[in-house]
Amino acid sequence: MLGATLALYATASISGGHLNPAVTLAFALIRPDSFSISKLIPYWVAQLAGAMVAGIINLALFHTAIIEFEAKNGILRGSDLGIKSAVAFGDYYSLSPSVGGWVQALFIEAFGTAFLTFVIFSATHPSNASVASSAVPLIVGSAIGSMIALLGATTGAGINPARDLGPRLITLFAGWGSASMQGAWVYIAGPLIGGPIGAALADLVLWKM
């Protein structure tokens, strides 16, 4: 939440501060006049690259702590149960007793992202004079924090394909192997489905009333 808020304050005036492929897709589809779809792939590449760098930094910072955690809990990195230490990088709904399967996980990720984009598009709508542009990063950060508080115990509230996939790719080559990619598609598809839906509800329903 705090990280996203600071990142938005740092980059919003330069790139729009999307930080999230699902948000970028929503802008390309729902507000094509303000964000050209031709920018979609370059933004996605940049977002994924940034997330991978974050994964490398995370590994460098906590490498020793992760090894100690694995040793203490008998976790064999690279095995299916090795994802118990990979959660320091990505989200794994399979570890949550609150999630019955991929269908529920997909819905949760889509819902969480839809809520996020609904808030973003409502807060940034030209007709919404009650929100100052300087307040948008705080509002978006609060929306992210709300979804983490509500959904974190289920899927981990990824609600950002790059944030989940980028660090996963680092774990893929850092000893966790293919096991680290368990359920990865849910954290890509869910947000990409939910993002445009939330944006459409804000721009085409709420602010069309």
Q: Where are the alpha helices (DSSP H) in the chain?
A: 2-15, 21-30, 40-73, 83-86, 102-123, 136-151, 161-172, 184-200
Question: Which token pair is 105?
Answer: 């996980």
The CATH number fitting domain 2-208, selected from 3.40.50.300, 1.20.1080.10, 3.30.390.50, 3.30.70.20 = 1.20.1080.10
Cα angle 90, 74, 101; round to 5:
40
Question: Which tens digit of pLDDT belongs to each residue from 39-88?
Answer: 999 999 999 999 999 999 999 999 999 999 999 999 999 888 889 999 99
Question: Which tens digit of pLDDT belongs to each residue from 163-195?
Answer: 999 999 999 999 999 999 999 999 999 999 999
> Could you tell me the pTM of the whole model?
0.94
Cα angle 135, 140, 142; round to 5:
95
Question: Which token pair is 161?
Answer: 């394909």
